[in-house]
């Protein structure tokens, strides 16, 4: 690992609004002082000191969507989740420089989130530009594979919304199918949102990966569903 990356990994642990699961074999969440925290069912009160609804972005990378949404919706709490500390470091710097008090980041494997959050603690989920895993044997690793959808059902409140954005059409079609199969109610299914002028103020927020895909002239697709 390069020195610059090591430095980011060290620094990200020092932000008071970043919580890290440092050992996936013995999962636990640590705060910036190294204390193990167990806030299952109490994240709004403990982390945000309020009772506001929680929007969680999964695989948030540098947290672009989380931050843009948090700026637009100060009356909600936002939790960005990713496994990569160097990406979260970038997001954490932005949150700090903007002085946002309604954003935290959790560095963990998404697969272990139910160890840290109570059933139905989350009000809304966003997934933006997850890895497409195009090869057949890898499809179970997609963040819209059945095992992940079961996890989201556990985490999100009844009738909570899930939003999904991707450039990968194969993944988009797969996700439309897997969500239907799981019993989610699809409210919006939009292919090529910009080409078809379907975007709005929220769906036109662009992440680091989206900007790269747009530069490659790829189309962007969006769907929204009620988790049932």
| Active site residues per annotation | 131
Contact set for ligand SAM, span 169-228 (CB under 6 A): 207-210
Answer yes or no: are the C-beta atoms of 117 and 155 closer than 8 Å.
yes
CB of 82 to ligand SAM, least distance (A): 5
Query: Which of 128, 166, 178, 221 is close enough to bind ligand SAM by CB under 6 A?
Result: 128
CB of 169 to ligand SAM, least distance (A): 16
55 binds ligand SAM (CB under 6 A): no
Distance CA 111, CA 53 (A): 22
Q: Please give the size of the binding site for ligand SAM, defined by CB under 6 A.
A: 19
User: Which residue, 77 or 128, is less far from ligand SAM as judged by CB?
Assistant: 128
Q: Is residue 114 a contact point for ligand SAM (CB under 6 A)?
A: no
The least distance separating ligand SAM from the CB of residue 215, rounded to whole angstroms, comes to 13
124 contacts 157 by C-beta, under 8 angstroms: no
Q: Do residues 18 and 12 make contact, with C-beta atoms less than 8 angstroms apart?
A: yes
Look at residue 125 and give its three-state secondary structure: strand
Name the token pair of 146.
Answer: 């059945």
Q: Do 109 and 41 contact (CB within 8 A), yes or no?
A: no
Residue from 60, 79, 155, 179 binding ligand SAM (CB under 6 A): 60
Q: Using the rule CB under 6 A, which residue among 123, 131, 192, 199 binds ligand SAM? A: 131
Please identify, using beta-carbon distances, which residue of 84 and 218 lies nearer to ligand SAM. Answer: 84
3-state SS class at 57: strand
Q: 78 has which bridge partners?
A: 55, 103
Closer by beta carbon to ligand SAM, 61 or else 160: 61
* Closest residue to ligand SAM in the complex (CB): 61
Say how far apart CA 164 and CA 223 lie, in whole Å.
Answer: 5
Enter the tokens of residue 30.
């640590």
3-state secondary structure of 115: helix
Q: Please, which of residues 73-112 interact with ligand SAM by CB under 6 A?
A: 82-84, 87, 109-111
Which CB atom, from 43 or from 209, has the smaller least distance to ligand SAM? Answer: 209
Least Å distance, CB 51 to ligand SAM, is 27
Q: Which residues contact 187 (CB under 8 A, 6 or more apart)?
A: 161, 224, 225, 226
Query: CB of 196: closest distance to ligand SAM in angstroms?
Result: 21
Specify the 3-state DSSP secondary structure of 121.
coil
| Residues found near ligand SAM in the complex (CB under 6 A) | 59-61, 64, 82-84, 87, 109-111, 128-131, 207-210
């Amino acid at each position: 690992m390069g020195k610059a990356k090591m430095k980011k990994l060290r620094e990200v642990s020092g932000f008071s609004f970043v919580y890290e699961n440092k050992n996936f074999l013995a999962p636990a969440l640590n705060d910036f002082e190294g204390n193990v925290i167990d806030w299952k069912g109490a994240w709004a009160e403990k982390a945000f000191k309020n009772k506001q609804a929680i929007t969680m972005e999964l695989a948030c990378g540098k947290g672009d969507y989380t931050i843009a949404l948090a700026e637009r919706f100060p009356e909600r709490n936002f939790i960005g989740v990713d496994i990569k500390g160097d990406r979260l470091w970038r997001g954490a710097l932005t949150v700090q420089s903007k002085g946002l008090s309604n954003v935290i980041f959790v560095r963990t494997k998404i697969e272990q989130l139910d160890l840290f959050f109570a059933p139905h603690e989350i009000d809304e989920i966003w997934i933006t530009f997850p890895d497409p895993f195009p090869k057949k044997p890898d499809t179970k690793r997609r963040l819209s594979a059945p095992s992940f959808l079961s996890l989201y059902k556990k985490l999100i409140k009844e009738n909570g919304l899930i939003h999904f954005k991707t450039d990968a059409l194969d993944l988009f079609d797969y996700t439309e199918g897997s969500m239907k199969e799981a019993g989610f109610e699809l409210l919006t299914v939009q292919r090529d949102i910009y080409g078809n002028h379907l975007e709005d103020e929220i769906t036109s927020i662009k992440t680091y990966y989206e900007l790269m895909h747009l530069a490659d002239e790829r189309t962007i697709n969006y769907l929204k569903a009620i988790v049932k």
